Chains A and B, each alone.
Chain A
Amino acid sequence: MLPALPLDEAGKYVAGAYLVFLALILIYVAIMASKLARIEREVVDLAEVVERKGGADGAGAGAAVAPPAALPATKEPAATKEPATTKEPATTKQPAATKQRAR
């Protein structure tokens, strides 16, 4: 049986082990934060695209500008079946927002 290490010597190992755990969590959170920042940037980009499209449509045909919230909603990903890359059929259902506008 090995003798127990004195506290001053054992402390650094215990601290090291718990720091490893903390570091893992922090690295993971940092990665998730960077992903979130990328998603935010993409949302801003999409909003700009929608605004540009809306502006062009309004200037041209005078059509109503669809706000970003009125974009066709994507299907719930959890319910989709393979293959995921299959194209959506041309006759998709009218999004709820469009229906409301029609009323």
Chain B
Amino acid sequence: MATALVLTAAFAMVFFYAPLDADQGFVQKIFYVHVPMAIVALVGFVAGGICAVMYLRTRETKWDMRSYVTIHLSVILAVGVLVTGSIWARASWGHWWVWDEPMLVSFLIVFLLYATYWPLRFSLEDREKQARYASVFAIVAGAFVPLNFTAVRMAEQYIHPETLATTTGGMPGKFALTFVVALIGMTLLFFTLIKYEMASKHATFRLRALRRRLAGDDDDLMLPTRSAAPSL
């Protein structure tokens, strides 16, 4: 409920409160959906890595599940970032994609890196090994995300508009307030989706466990079925 309210408020502020950008005009409104999605997706990737660290420390499958779900939703948001970014690039620069723009290419690399997460998981039938390997992947890839972000910021050939405070000053008040509300809304949406996905996964596994007990045919039904999703 809070998610819906904050997101609705954010989008209302985007179109009725935030002023038009002097440089880009109305097209700049894409910023309020594109950048919060990008920030939440990147933080989600890092959070997936932290959950993976927790899994390797405790060996509790709940951490593997959290890492999996966080990365899953971050990849979904990353798709949105790439598509909305492409639309913004077309409107601003006249091209759907610019290969010599570090931010775009680096984000694509991060996305493609995480796109290999499911094939990796699916390729391992042994659940323990699957969780362990996927955790190592999530940690390495999660560490790559901030490194990548920093490297892009330090790149000389830099034309991508900066969003956070810079040496030339931050965003003006109304822009900043709208952006913060949009970011909070996107973060709440992310947590809401995580909650639902976790609930769905738990319900599915509990049902399977019940079915196994009812069937009473332990040996056959206890065999693990190959899946990229973690087993609880």
Contacts and interface: CB of A to CB of B under 8 A. Distances in A.
Interface string B21-64: 11111110110011001000000000000000000000111100
Which of A25, A46, A71, A82 gathers the greatest number of chain B CB atoms within 10 Å? A82
A4 B90 CA distance: 13
Contacts of B29: 14
B9 interface: no
Contact of B207 (A32, A43, A72): A43
B127 A46 contact: no
A83 B128 contact: yes
Interface string B196-232: 1100101111110111011000100011100000111
Interface size classification for chain A? 35 or more
Nearest to B84: A17
A96 interface: no
B80 interface: yes
Contact of B11 (A13, A18, A82, A83): A18
Which of B21, B90, B92 gathers the greatest number of chain A CB atoms within 10 Å? B92
Nearest to A53: B214
A43 B6 CA distance: 35
A4 B224 CA distance: 57
Contacts, number: 130
A61 B22 CA distance: 83
Nearest to A90: B218
B33 A7 contact: no
Q: For the complex, would chain A's binding face be called helix, strand, loop or mixed by DSSP majority?
A: helix
A24 interface: yes
B82 to A, nearest CB: 10
Contacts of A72: 213
A85 B210 contact: no
Interface residues of B, number: 56
Contact of A5 (B26, B196, B203): B26
Contacts of A85: 127, 222-224, 231
B202 A77 contact: yes
B203 A39 contact: yes
A11 B56 CA distance: 48
B214 A4 contact: no
Interface string A25-59: 10010001001100100110010011001000000
7 interchain residue pairs of minimum CB distance = A4-B25, A77-B232, A78-B62, A13-B91, A84-B231, A10-B26, A74-B209
17 contacts: A4-B23, A5-B25, A6-B25, A11-B26, A17-B30, A17-B34, A18-B33, A20-B80, A28-B193, A39-B200, A77-B65, A78-B65, A80-B60, A80-B61, A82-B127, A83-B127, A84-B224
Given A4-B23, A20-B83, A42-B211, 8 more contacts: A2-B24, A5-B91, A11-B26, A49-B214, A50-B214, A81-B61, A83-B127, A85-B127
